[in-house]
Structure 1
Amino acid sequence: MKVSRLLITVLMAFLLTACSSAPEEIEAAGYTKAYEPLTFTDLDIPVNIEVVDGVTYADGVLIVNKEIPLPEDYNPEMQPEVIEAYTQMFEDAEAEGLYFELVSGFRSYDYQAELYNSYVARDGKEAADQYSAEPGHSEHQTGLAVDVGSYDSAVLLQTSFEYTPEFQWLKDVAHEYGFIIRYMKGKENITGYMYEPWHLRYVGDKAPAIYESGLTLEEYFDLV
């Protein structure tokens, strides 16, 4: 996953040399499309991973999960672009006769600790870990995540939200506003969390590509 720029350069040079070789040599080396020009989408170009002040970014997208934490003092509050995006999305939905409710936005490290510990006390750590993040590992601490619900049906933070008209609209348009559904159905073994149709993560202009890929953030940025 973490490959140096020098290695990328060497790889590109090798592939360009291979493409100029005879078809038999290329085929023997495992290249089955010798006569088609290579593009960057044909190559396994590594993701640029950076850690800035304890915060991890993959190609500029902030990453936090069960393995990658945020600093305890990371306290950005809800980001203005996120507020603008979900506000516009809610307004557009209302024009379609659909009504959303913002259930949860930014959470500080300390608040997440209180929340997580209360779930552990109630359900036990093994169960709590399926639906709640340990402090420092919550997307809500980024200021880039929101939980939404269906206002009319009062379906809040339940998987049955996926059967509401609101979600049926949301799942196909959220990326147009910069959001992805972060904890997808069938991807629990990758994200480490239960399916959460209500949990939206803002990734800005990368949302359409991630949505079209059908991948989680971990898969999309080769973090698994």
Structure 2
Amino acid sequence: MKFIKVVMALMLLVTLGACGSEDATALEAIEYNKQYESLSFSNLDIPVHVEEIDGITYADGVLIVNKEIPLPNDYNPGLQAETEEAYLQMFEDAAAEGLSFELVSGFRSYNYQAELYNNYVARDGKEAADKYSAEPGHSEHQTGLAIDVGSYDSAVLLQTSFEYTPEFEWLSEHAHEYGFIIRYLKGKEDITGYMYEPWHLRYVGDKATDIKESGLTLEEYFDLL
């Protein structure tokens, strides 16, 4: 990145050097370099690479599943190692600061999600269930990259009131450092198709910080709308 900045500045020096004084050229180049440093690759209009491999959709290497993009019925990876390692380290670091997290839900198979979803539909009706539960094959939990967390001390599990706990305050500031994003954001229900879920974390690895800082959902960030 620094090499590119230097090259761009030198190119500008050469161009301007043919048109004006050396002092003016140097000042212009310095100003250009300052402006260039304010850019990041996430600001640039780079096309997203979307591909499907064995029935699984990836956007720039990140596995995507939502109401429109399914997983194969037989996709059954279990809780993936990187997800488990990341959340265990996150919980340990939080505990060192006096916070107490509980893993409420991790991997769910297609069949288990079908059982949950059908029970919710039977209880609340399909329209209501679709706002908080994924149809089988459309759950992030089937990826092995999603977890639901709660506050053990406050006994706040899978409730929006989790947002008001010290644990969530810490999570919202630090989860990205461990590769997690809050997947279903407040105010983005019309995009994700699900209610706000402060407890639902999705592992996306080294893209987590950029996604968090963008304030976008995965659908928006990867231009999948």
**TM-score interval, normalised by the smaller of the two chains:** 0.7 to 0.9
- The aligned residue for residue 197 of structure 1 is 198
- The aligned residue for residue 97 of structure 2 is 96
Count of aligned pairs between the two proteins: 191
Mean Cα displacement is larger for which, 151-160 or 39-48?
Answer: 39-48
CA distance, structure 2, for counterparts of residue 42 and residue 177 of structure 1 = 23
1:22-76 CA-partner distances (Å, limit 9, x unpaired): xxxxxxxxxxxxx988996665221000100000000000000000000000000
Alignment map for 1:9-88 (pairs within 5 Å): 43-88=44-89
Structure 1: tracts of 5 or more residues without a match: 1-19, 21-34
- The aligned residue for residue 150 of structure 1 is 151
What residue identity is the alignment partner of 1:206? K
RMSD: 1.7
1:6-25 CA-partner distances (Å, limit 9, x unpaired): xxxxxxxxxxxxxx9xxxxx
CA distance, structure 2, for counterparts of residue 115 and residue 46 of structure 1 = 37
Q: How much identity, in percent, do the aligned residues show?
A: 82
Structure 2: tracts of 5 or more residues without a match: 1-14, 16-31
Q: Residue 104 of structure 2: SS of its match in structure 1?
A: strand
Q: Residue 191 of structure 2: SS of its match in structure 1?
A: helix
Q: 1:41 to 1:139 in 2, by over 3 A?
A: closer
Q: Residue 224 of structure 2: SS of its match in structure 1?
A: coil
Of Structure 1 and Structure 2, the greater helix share is in 2
- The aligned residue for residue 218 of structure 2 is 217
1:96-115 CA-partner distances (Å, limit 9, x unpaired): 10000000000000000000
Q: 1:124 to 1:100 in 2, by over 3 A?
A: same
CA distance, structure 2, for counterparts of residue 211 and residue 49 of structure 1 = 20
Q: 1:163 to 1:39 in 2, by over 3 A?
A: closer
Greater Rg by CA: 2
State the TM-score, normalized to the length of structure 1. Answer: 0.82
Q: Residue 132 of structure 2: SS of its match in structure 1?
A: coil
What residue identity is the alignment partner of 1:193? Y
